[in-house]
Chain A
């Protein structure tokens, strides 16, 4: 099957400026997303992992055009986000949908499930009758009974709310879904239901997913590819099995071996415990952002930024000293 790029990032940057002082303004930047280049193909599930503050959510918000990028190019289904016309934007907003972590805070507590699902369709010009019909259809897609249309969010459980949030995201027939910690707030048995549902939907509707999570077990189950971010940089990107079992970047290795494995017989495996904290985006030097925590760091790492290189088919790493494990 021919691979078609659905999301293309080319040197994407998002900086937040911080000003100090009233009179003499010194400007510095928080480089939340810094020079990220990656391609997500149609029908792929890409897992985006990284610690808090690594820029995962900022990246997602930029894709959703909820925040303006500072530099670089984003192409969504071939359309350049920076040069999009009003008509393009309207199409983009239907092409790309989002589901957030906490479903309760994303649904209006005063509105019924039906009107929450209908809302985006009406905004995009559907008639009430059409929207109502479609609301029933999407609810069926997420395997919920029609009778929930008249419920209010407080009457539903966490798992049901997450289904509603997914249903609403599907209402405009998106091509891409961004899932920001879709199961973090859920219990294991409910998490399993939502993960199964997401996979079923992806197969039947041929969607492209970008899944943001810190749960590496979920990512290993769900995704085709894994992208690892560290302090605003994309340090590694490649097929799930490659990145999980054969990581090339020392940070990925540390992350993968820190993650608890759901099997007690593997508890004595060789672990690469990372020392220190993720650090701060405000105080970053010129070198590799991971160099302070990296046991392989050399002078070169402290003074210059590593370029992203392809180590094998579709597996890219930004490191001067990629691992050979």
Chain B
């Protein structure tokens, strides 16, 4: 049994908005083990990025209320001070975003920006620079030495994302949060970046929380998957299991909506209706208004998390009944 690294317990995030209240994330529970790639998938606005940002304590602050626990290596990150958090960010938990250009300073060379991260660990300048070149080679940067002296605008999108990954792994974090890391890249470059992420996991036993809306990526690299819908984690489990045997009605419909066939084999599954905006505190399944199996109970009572297999959890009333 591998060791648990991160566990979210009943994480809920509410925002104050004009209408009074907006529930962005509700009662999210999942855990990531060391060396595991956990993919959080869901459609836009389902709260996947909000969850990721809350782990790093990066939400804007001010108008959100966070409840629940974020337990990283036995410590609740909701309890630590900002000063301690600064030591955790980068050193223990690294993060890369969709657009690397937003994360790089345009007036410094990319090498010096990576070196800056390394120097935080009291490493002297020459050694830091040598490490940068090594890291650039690790992330398969062409002409590593030359490229370290380039400015961000001189690099292609794929190379910039390599710089970000090099910066992340420079401090050897145990958890890497990757928020749509390849969405802005071409498929051939995407495949190269995925290969690097996979290699990280194998070489350094880094755990990765991969946030994406692209089920293709999930199928290629993830070990486990968590499906989010309207702020709730509706299903978590092994990636092979969920692709083969999705249980939650939303996951089932979503899997059938993926273009996995040719048009001659028929039309794709669609999901009627729209994602609700949750501005009222009232119990009930958030998918009930679109769910073909919904009953009265689904509209009035919160569905329980039901275990349907080893490590396979589903938040649904109807499934619970079937199993019993």
A257 to B258, CA, bound (A): 18
- Which chain B residue has the least Cβ–Cβ distance from A202? B263
In the complex, the number of residue pairs spanning A and B with C-beta atoms less than 8 Å apart equals 121
Interface residues on B, range: 35 or more
Give residues of chain A (198-257) contacting chain B, Cβ–Cβ below 8 Å. 199, 214, 216-218, 220-222, 240-241, 254-255, 257
Contact present for B268 and A262 (CB under 8 Å) = no
Assess whether A282 is interfacial by the CB under 8 Å rule: no
Contact present for B186 and A196 (CB under 8 Å) = no
- Which chain A residue has the least Cβ–Cβ distance from B255? A262
Contact present for B274 and A188 (CB under 8 Å) = no
Contact present for B219 and A261 (CB under 8 Å) = yes
Instruction: Choose one: B158, B192, B258; the contact of A217 (CB below 8 Å).
Output: B258
Instruction: Choose one: A187, A254, A264; the contact of B43 (CB below 8 Å).
Output: A187
- Assuming the A-B contacts A277-B156, A278-B188, are A189 and B257 also in contact, with contact meaning beta carbons closer than 8 angstroms in the complex? yes
Contact present for B44 and A265 (CB under 8 Å) = no
Q: How far is the CB of A214 from chain B (nearest CB, A)?
A: 6
Assess whether A52 is interfacial by the CB under 8 Å rule: yes
Contact present for A221 and B262 (CB under 8 Å) = yes
Residues of A within 8 A of B191 (CB): 257-260, 271, 273-274
Assess whether B239 is interfacial by the CB under 8 Å rule: yes
Contact present for B220 and A199 (CB under 8 Å) = no
Contact present for A264 and B270 (CB under 8 Å) = no
- Which chain B residue has the least Cβ–Cβ distance from A199? B263
Contact present for A278 and B267 (CB under 8 Å) = no
- Assuming the A-B contacts A189-B253, A191-B257, A192-B270, are A261 and B216 also in contact, with contact meaning beta carbons closer than 8 angstroms in the complex? yes
Q: How far is the CB of B207 from chain A (nearest CB, A)?
A: 18
Contact present for A267 and B219 (CB under 8 Å) = yes
Assess whether B97 is interfacial by the CB under 8 Å rule: no
Contact present for A277 and B195 (CB under 8 Å) = no
Q: How far is the CB of B225 from chain A (nearest CB, A)?
A: 9
Residues of A within 8 A of B156 (CB): 277
Contact present for B216 and A199 (CB under 8 Å) = no
Contact present for B159 and A195 (CB under 8 Å) = no
A291 to B188, CA, bound (A): 16
Residues of B within 8 A of A157 (CB): 274
Instruction: Choose one: B239, B243, B257; the contact of A188 (CB below 8 Å).
Output: B257
Assess whether B189 is interfacial by the CB under 8 Å rule: yes
Interface residues on A, range: 35 or more
Residues of B within 8 A of A263 (CB): 219, 243, 260
Assess whether A42 is interfacial by the CB under 8 Å rule: no
- Which chain B residue has the least Cβ–Cβ distance from A203? B263
- Assuming the A-B contacts A189-B271, A221-B262, A262-B260, are A254 and B240 also in contact, with contact meaning beta carbons closer than 8 angstroms in the complex? no
Q: How far is the CB of B287 from chain A (nearest CB, A)?
A: 12
Assess whether B9 is interfacial by the CB under 8 Å rule: no
Assess whether B215 is interfacial by the CB under 8 Å rule: yes
- Assuming the A-B contacts A187-B44, A189-B271, are A51 and B257 also in contact, with contact meaning beta carbons closer than 8 angstroms in the complex? no
Q: How far is the CB of A183 from chain B (nearest CB, A)?
A: 9
Assess whether A125 is interfacial by the CB under 8 Å rule: no
Q: How far is the CB of A320 from chain B (nearest CB, A)?
A: 21
Q: How far is the CB of B52 from chain A (nearest CB, A)?
A: 18
A136 to B293, CA, bound (A): 34
- Which chain A residue has the least Cβ–Cβ distance from B260? A262
Q: How far is the CB of B310 from chain A (nearest CB, A)?
A: 17
A241 to B243, CA, bound (A): 24
Give residues of chain B (26-46) contacting chain A, Cβ–Cβ below 8 Å. 43-44
A91 to B216, CA, bound (A): 42
Assess whether B221 is interfacial by the CB under 8 Å rule: yes
Give the interface centre of A51, A263, A273 by most chain B CB atoms within 10 Å: A263
A187 to B212, CA, bound (A): 11
Contact present for B217 and A217 (CB under 8 Å) = no
Give residues of chain B (261-283) contacting chain A, Cβ–Cβ below 8 Å. 261-263, 267-271, 274
Give the interface centre of A199, A254, A258, A262 by most chain B CB atoms within 10 Å: A262
A274 to B257, CA, bound (A): 29
Assess whether B190 is interfacial by the CB under 8 Å rule: yes
Give the interface centre of B44, B159, B217 by most chain A CB atoms within 10 Å: B44
Give the interface centre of A157, A192, A196 by most chain B CB atoms within 10 Å: A192
A106 to B68, CA, bound (A): 43
- What are 5 sample pairs from A and B whose C-beta atoms fall under 8 A apart? A189-B270, A195-B268, A199-B263, A217-B258, A260-B187
Q: Which B residues contact A (CB, under 8 angstroms)?
A: 43-44, 142, 156, 158-159, 186-192, 194-195, 213-222, 239-240, 243-244, 253-254, 257-263, 267-271, 274
- By Cβ-Cβ distance, the 10 closest A-B pairs, closest first, are A260-B216, A221-B259, A258-B191, A187-B43, A192-B257, A192-B268, A51-B186, A189-B271, A264-B219, A274-B188
Q: Told that A188-B215, A192-B257 touch, could you supply 15 new A-B pairs with CB distance under 8 A?
A: A199-B263, A199-B267, A214-B187, A220-B262, A241-B262, A255-B188, A259-B187, A260-B191, A260-B194, A262-B216, A262-B219, A262-B243, A263-B243, A264-B243, A277-B158
